[in-house]
Structure 1
Amino acid sequence: MSEPSYSHGTSSTPLLGDTVGANLDRAVAAFGDREALVDVASGRRWTYAEFGAAVDEVARGLLAKGVAKGDRVGIWAVNCPEWVLVQYATARIGVVMVNINPAYRAHELSYVLRQAGISLLVASLAHKGSDYRALVGQVRGSCPDLRETVYIGDPSWDGFVAGAGAVPPGRTAAIAAELSCDDPINIQYTSGTTGFPKGATLSHHNILNNGYWVGRTVGYTEQDRVCLPVPFYHCFGMVMGNLGATSHGACIVIPAPSFDPAATLRAVQEERCTSLYGVPTMFIAELNLPDFGSYDLSSLRTGIMAGSPCPVEVMKRVVAEMHMAEVSICYGMTETSPVSLQTRRDDDLEHRTGTVGRVLPHIEVKIVDPATGVTVPRGTPGELCTRGYSVMLGYWDEPEKTAEAVDPGRWMHTGDLATMREDGYVEIVGRIKDMIIRGGENIYPREIEEFLYGHPKIRDVQVVGVPHERYGEEVLACVIPLDPADPPTLEEVRAFCADRLAHYKAPARLRILDAFPMTVSGKVRKVELRETYGG
C-alpha cells in the first residue's frame, strides 16, 4: 500500500524567534566590517556596521514623519539600496511595508493605496516610461490616507533622511524592544488574474525564518555574495534574497535597477558573487548573450531558480557553464513567505529539473483530492497544500478571501496540481486553472512543454488550453524559435510528437512569438496567452 502524500520537515535547529531588526543587530555585531550591500550601478557600498546605521537613520526619518507601529508605508520602486533600507527600517519600528509592483499604473496604484490605507509612499521617480510623480498626482485625490510621497533620487529623499536628526538615536531601540515577532510587517499583493489583487500579510516570523532556511539550505555563510537581479517587490528578492543573505551575514549585490542579462553577469564577475538568483527565462537570457563566454563566472557555486519549471537543457548549462554546481530549485507562493519546497545542494540533475524539491524544515506539505480534501496516495495528482510558520497571517482586511485560501486546519491551499514521489520530492504538474481538459482527458501543460523543449527549432515554449467546439479545449503551443528566420511549422511539431506523446496531447495549434507576456517577477502570463490567441 502506497504512503500518503504527506511530508514534514524535521530539524534539530529551532526556528528563529527574532524580529527582523533584532536579527540584523546580531549580524551587525558579528560581521560589522564585512560588506552587507553593494549597488553596482551607483558604486555605493555598505559594511554591516554602516548598513545598520543607515537602516536606523531611515527608521528615525519615518518616525519624524509621524509614522508609528502598525501604520502602512508603501514602497513603489525599482531595485536600489533605498528599497532595502526601507525594508529593514520599517521592520525595525514595527511599521507595515507594502510592496507595490513597479509596473502598476494609476488604476492599480490607487487600489493598493486605498486598500492598505498607506499613509506614506516611497517611490522611484520613473520606470520604463512611467512618470511616478505624475501617476501619484492622478490618484492622490482618491486616496485620503496618503499624506506624503518621498521620491528616491530627489531632494524629498534627502529631506526625509535629514529629518532623522529630530529623533533621539535611542528611540528606535526602545520601540524595537516592544515588538513581537508575530507582528505584521509586510503586505505583498498577489497578482490576481481576475479581479483586484489580494494583500498577503506577513510577519517577522514568516519572512525572517523563510529567508534564513532558504539561505541555510544552500549553505550561506558570511563568505557569500548574492547577486539579485530579481525584483525586491516580490518575495524572491526581499525574502529569499535580502533576508536570506543578512540572516547569514552574506552580502547583497544589486546588479541593476531592473533585470539586464549583461549587467547581471558583469556584476557576478566584478563582485565575485558566489550565488545568483533568477527565474528560468533570466538564465536563458544570460546564457544566450552573444558574449556569454567572455564573462568570468568561476566565483559562482550556487544560486536559486524559481518562479517556473527549469528545462533540463537549461539546467545542464547553468551547472556546467555558469559553475553553479549547487544551484537550488525553490517552490512557493507569496502567501507562504514564499518557499515550502526546495532541492538540496547534492541533488542530482533529474531531481533539480523533474521536481521542485522536498519540504523545508518546520513545514508540512500534503497533496489532496481537490473535490474531497482527502490526502491522496503518493504518485497521485492532487492539490498541494502547505502548513507551518510560513503561512501568512491572512489577506489584508479580507477575512472571507483568507478563509477561501486557508482552511480551518491552517493549511494553505496553493491551487497547484502536484504529485509526491515515494522519496518525498514533489513534482508540479500545473495549476488547477491551467489544466487542459480535452474531451474528458486531463492534460498537464508542463509535460508537453518539457517534451517540446527537445525540438531542435524551439528555444522556449508555453502550452495553454484554448476553446474548442467539440472537445471543450484543445492544445495551443506558443513557441519562441531558436532561429526566427526558420521557425517550426505545426506539421513539424506534430510529427515530433507522433509516437512519443498521446495523440490528444499533441498541439492542435501553434503560434510563433518573439517573447512571452511576463509579470514583473518573471512568470509567464498564461492567461494573457489564452486570451490573445484563443480566438
Structure 2
Amino acid sequence: MATVETLGAALKRAAAEHGGSEAVMDLPSGWRLTYAELDQAAAQLARGLMALGLEPGERLGLWAPNQPEWIITLFAAAKAGLVLTSVDTSFGAAELAYQLKQSRCRALVLTPGIKGAEYLQALAGLCPQAAQPAPEGLHCPEFPELKWAILIGQDAPPGVLTWSRLLELAQQVEPAALAQREAAVRPGQAATLLYTSGTTGRPKGVLSPHRGLVVTSTACGNNQRLSPQDRLVVSVPLCHMFGCICVTLSAVLKAATLVIPSRLPEPAAILRAVVAEGCTALYGPPTSFIALMDEPSYQQAGGGLRTGIMAGAQVPLEVMRKVVQEMGVNNLIGGYGQTEASSWISLSSPEDSLERRAVTVGRPVPGAQVMIVDPGSGQELPLGQVGEICVRGHVMLGYFDMPAETAAALDPQGWLHTGDLGSLDAEGYISISGRLKEAIRKGGKIVFPAEVEQVLFSHPKINNAQVFGVPHDVLGEEVACWIKLEKGQKADLAEIMEFLRRKLPANHLPAHLKFVEAFPMTPLGKIQKFKMREAFIAERQGRSAS
C-alpha cells in the first residue's frame, strides 16, 4: 500500500476492497455499518458540508462522545478537504469558547450532550443567536467565523441545523463535485487540529497532515498484525488522538471492525463488548487496563483478545504482565507518541519480549528519526544516556496561529523537541524516563519518577503508584508518592518504606507517602501529576496555617 494516501482515500480504498465487511458496530444503538456504507455516509455528509459553503482548509468542530457519527464526520471532513478540530467531551462553555475562537471554527457538529442537553446549553450561552432562525447561517459577535451549527439529533434550536437536514442538503452538490474536491486534497495538507491539554499554559492546536497520520497509523496496524478479521474495541475517547487516529484510522487502513461499547469509556461496558462482539484488540493507558482488571469479570473477557496497545503513560512491567497472563492478550504492545508527532513515534512488536515491551517503548516507526539531546546544550548524547527525545519526520505542521510556540517546539532542522526524557540503546529501542518538567531535581541530582514507580508496582499489595516532585527549601525538590492498594489489601507506610529501602538508592526514597483511593486523571485516563503536586502544596499550607 502506498503511504501517501489521504484519510478520505484510505476509507475509499477500504470500501472498494472490503465493501461488505463490517466497519462499525455501535452497541448502544445496535447500528452496524459496512465499509461501503461508511464510505457512502461520509461522502453524503461531505456533500452536505460543501452545500453549506465550507471551503478547503476551513475548520470543522466536532463535539460528541463515541458514536458512529463521530467516525462519519472524521472522514467526511477529510473528503471535503476540511480540518477537523475535536472538542473534548469533558469541556464546558469556557473551554469551548476558547477553542472556537482560537481555531476560527467555521462550523460545529455537536450532540445535545452526554448527561442531557449541556452541550446545546453551552452553545446557546455563547451564541444566543442560535435560538433564532438562521437561514443564512449564524451571526455570533464573539465568534465571527462560526457560521453553522449542526446537531446530531432532531430537537435542534431554530438556528441550528439537524443532522438529517444536512444530509438532505447534500442533494444540492453533485457527486462529481465531491470527487473533484477529494482529488484536490494532498497528503501534506492538514487533516486535524487537535488541542493539547494546556496544563502549563494556553491549549495549543496541533495541525497534523494526512501523510503523517496515515504513515504512523499504518505502522500501528502492521505492528499489531491487524487484518479484516480483527475487531477493535473503541476503549478510549474518539475526541483524543489515541481514539480517532491510533485506533480508528489504523482499523480503516486494515479494514478491521470498530466496536463502540458505550458513549464514554466504561470498564464494565468495554468487557461486555469484548465478550459479546468477539473483540480481538484493546487499547488505553495503564490506568485504563488497571480499571478493567478491577472488574470482577475481567478474566472472562480474555478469550479472543490477542493484541492492542498500552500507551499514553509509563507502562509498569507488572501491569503488562498481568494483562498478558491473566487476560490472555499475548501480543499486547507498547508505544510512545505525541499529538505533535502525528501520533506514534515508536512502537514495540509482538516478537519483543514481554519485559522489552514494558520497559521500552519500542523502536521508531518507519520515517521517524529519533535523537537524544542534552536539554541544556542541545548536543546529541551517546547511546544509553538520558536526555530530551527529539523526533523528525512525520511531525506536525505547527501550532495553529501560534508562531512563537511553534518555533520553540520545532527547530530549524525540523526536529520536534518533545519535552520527554529518554535514552536509545544499540538496537534502536527507546526507554522513557518521564517528562522533562516532571523530573525531580533533588539536591543537585535528578530522580526519574518512573524508576521509583516500577519498584512500587512490583509490590503485591499495590494497585497503582504515582511519584512526583514537591518543593523543598534546601534540596529544591523532594520525592512524594501517592499509592492505591489492591482491593482488600492493607499496608502501612512503614511497610512500604522498608520495601523501597531494599530496592532503591537512598536519594530515590520518598519523603512523603500517602494512601489514596483515586488519582486526578484526564478523560483519556492520563494521571495529572501537576494536580497531585498542587494538592500537596495546599495541604502543607493548610497545616502551616493551623
TM-score bucket (shorter structure): over 0.9
The correspondence of residues 66-215 of structure 1 with structure 2, limited to 5 A, is: 66-128=53-115, 131-140=118-127, 141=140, 142-155=142-155, 156-215=162-221
Find the partner of 2:335 among 312, 330, 338.
Answer: 330
What SS does structure 1 have at the residue aligned with 2:296? coil
Question: Aligned equivalents of 1:89 and 1:450: distance in 2?
Answer: 43
Distance apart, 1:258 and its partner CA? 0.9
Question: Aligned equivalents of 1:407 and 1:204: distance in 2?
Answer: 22
Q: What per-residue deviation string (whole Å, max 9, x for no partner) do you get for residues 210-246 of structure 1?
A: 1111111211121211111111111111111111011
1:255 matched to 2:261? yes
Distance apart, 1:129 and its partner CA? 6.7
For normalisation by structure 1, the TM-score amounts to 0.94
What SS does structure 1 have at the residue aligned with 2:437? coil
1:319 matched to 2:324? yes
1:346 matched to 2:346? no
Distance apart, 1:32 and its partner CA? 0.7
Deviates more, 1:197-206 or 1:141-150: 141-150
Question: Aligned equivalents of 1:344 and 1:412: distance in 2?
Answer: 24
Find the partner of 1:519 among 510, 519, 522.
Answer: 522
User: Could you say which residue in structure 1 is the equivalent of 2:469?
Assistant: 465
The alignment's C-alpha RMSD in Å is 1.5
Question: Aligned equivalents of 1:216 and 1:229: distance in 2?
Answer: 20
For normalisation by structure 2, the TM-score amounts to 0.92
What SS does structure 2 have at the residue aligned with 1:121? strand
What SS does structure 2 have at the residue aligned with 1:327? strand
Question: Aligned equivalents of 1:50 and 1:91: distance in 2?
Answer: 17
Q: Percent identity?
A: 40
User: Could you say which residue in structure 2 is the equivalent of 1:5?
Assistant: none
Distance apart, 1:456 and its partner CA? 3.2
Question: Aligned equivalents of 2:334 and 2:186: distance in 1?
Answer: 32
Question: Aligned equivalents of 1:209 and 1:97: distance in 2?
Answer: 18
Q: What per-residue deviation string (whole Å, max 9, x for no partner) do you get for residues 287-335 of structure 1?
A: 121222333x321111111101222222112112222111110101000
The correspondence of residues 408-447 of structure 1 with structure 2, limited to 5 A, is: 408-447=412-451
Deviates more, 1:475-484 or 1:171-180: 475-484
Task: Indicate conservation of the 8 Å contact 1:106/1:135, yes or no.
Answer: yes
Question: Aligned equivalents of 1:233 and 1:138: distance in 2?
Answer: 22
1:25 matched to 2:12? yes
Task: Indicate conservation of the 8 Å contact 2:298/2:327, yes or no.
Answer: no
What SS does structure 1 have at the residue aligned with 2:418? strand
User: Could you say which residue in structure 1 is the equivalent of 2:3?
Assistant: 16
Question: Aligned equivalents of 1:291 and 1:247: distance in 2?
Answer: 32
Question: Aligned equivalents of 2:350 and 2:51: distance in 1?
Answer: 46
Distance apart, 1:263 and its partner CA? 0.9
Structure 2 letter corresponding to 1:132: Y
Task: Indicate conservation of the 8 Å contact 1:493/1:507, yes or no.
Answer: no
Question: Aligned equivalents of 2:153 and 2:356: distance in 1?
Answer: 45
Question: Aligned equivalents of 1:320 and 1:489: distance in 2?
Answer: 29
Structure 2: 5+ residue stretches without partners: 128-139, 156-161, 541-546
Question: Aligned equivalents of 1:112 and 1:494: distance in 2?
Answer: 45
Distance apart, 1:130 and its partner CA? 7.2
Distance apart, 1:409 and its partner CA? 0.7
Deviates more, 1:403-412 or 1:465-474: 465-474
User: Could you say which residue in structure 2 is the equivalent of 1:60?
Assistant: 47
What SS does structure 2 have at the residue aligned with 1:126? coil
Deviates more, 1:164-173 or 1:117-126: 164-173
User: Could you say which residue in structure 2 is the equivalent of 1:380?
Assistant: 385
Structure 1: 5+ residue stretches without partners: 1-13
Task: Indicate conservation of the 8 Å contact 1:34/1:47, yes or no.
Answer: yes
Task: Indicate conservation of the 8 Å contact 2:216/2:343, yes or no.
Answer: yes
Distance apart, 1:15 and its partner CA? 5.5
Distance apart, 1:148 and its partner CA? 2.4
Question: Aligned equivalents of 1:499 and 1:263: distance in 2?
Answer: 41
Question: Aligned equivalents of 2:487 and 2:232: distance in 1?
Answer: 33
What SS does structure 2 have at the residue aligned with 1:433? helix
Number of residue pairs matched by the alignment: 519
Question: Aligned equivalents of 2:440 and 2:3: distance in 1?
Answer: 42
Task: Indicate conservation of the 8 Å contact 2:105/2:145, yes or no.
Answer: yes
Question: Aligned equivalents of 1:342 and 1:159: distance in 2?
Answer: 43
Question: Aligned equivalents of 2:73 and 2:398: distance in 1?
Answer: 23
Task: Indicate conservation of the 8 Å contact 1:355/1:425, yes or no.
Answer: yes
Question: Aligned equivalents of 2:469 and 2:326: distance in 1?
Answer: 35
Task: Indicate conservation of the 8 Å contact 1:231/1:258, yes or no.
Answer: yes
What SS does structure 1 have at the residue aligned with 2:215? helix
Task: Indicate conservation of the 8 Å contact 1:15/1:209, yes or no.
Answer: no
Q: Which protein, 1 or 2, shows the higher relative CO under an 8 Å CA cutoff with sep ≥ 6? A: 1
What SS does structure 2 have at the residue aligned with 1:69? coil
1:500 matched to 2:503? yes
Distance apart, 1:128 and its partner CA? 4.8
User: Could you say which residue in structure 2 is the equivalent of 1:3?
Assistant: none
Task: Indicate conservation of the 8 Å contact 1:366/1:375, yes or no.
Answer: yes
Structure 2 letter corresponding to 1:505: H
Question: Aligned equivalents of 2:72 and 2:242: distance in 1?
Answer: 17
Find the partner of 2:482 among 468, 478, 483.
Answer: 478
User: Could you say which residue in structure 1 is the equivalent of 2:28?
Assistant: 41
Find the partner of 1:392 among 364, 371, 396.
Answer: 396
Question: Aligned equivalents of 2:171 and 2:258: distance in 1?
Answer: 27
Distance apart, 1:399 and its partner CA? 1.3
Find the partner of 1:510 among 513, 517, 529.
Answer: 513
User: Could you say which residue in structure 2 is the equivalent of 1:275?
Assistant: 281
Structure 1 letter corresponding to 2:340: E
Task: Indicate conservation of the 8 Å contact 1:490/1:509, yes or no.
Answer: no
Distance apart, 1:127 and its partner CA? 2.5
Task: Indicate conservation of the 8 Å contact 1:210/1:239, yes or no.
Answer: no
Task: Indicate conservation of the 8 Å contact 2:342/2:396, yes or no.
Answer: yes
Distance apart, 1:81 and its partner CA? 0.5
What SS does structure 2 have at the residue aligned with 1:409? coil
User: Could you say which residue in structure 2 is the equivalent of 1:404?
Assistant: 408
Structure 2 letter corresponding to 1:399: P
Question: Aligned equivalents of 2:261 and 2:203: distance in 1?
Answer: 29
Question: Aligned equivalents of 1:109 and 1:243: distance in 2?
Answer: 25
What SS does structure 1 have at the residue aligned with 2:106? strand
Task: Indicate conservation of the 8 Å contact 2:235/2:270, yes or no.
Answer: yes
Distance apart, 1:53 and its partner CA? 0.7
Question: Aligned equivalents of 1:84 and 1:128: distance in 2?
Answer: 21
Question: Aligned equivalents of 1:298 and 1:482: distance in 2?
Answer: 24
Question: Aligned equivalents of 2:154 and 2:201: distance in 1?
Answer: 34
Structure 2 letter corresponding to 1:370: P
Structure 2 letter corresponding to 1:251: T
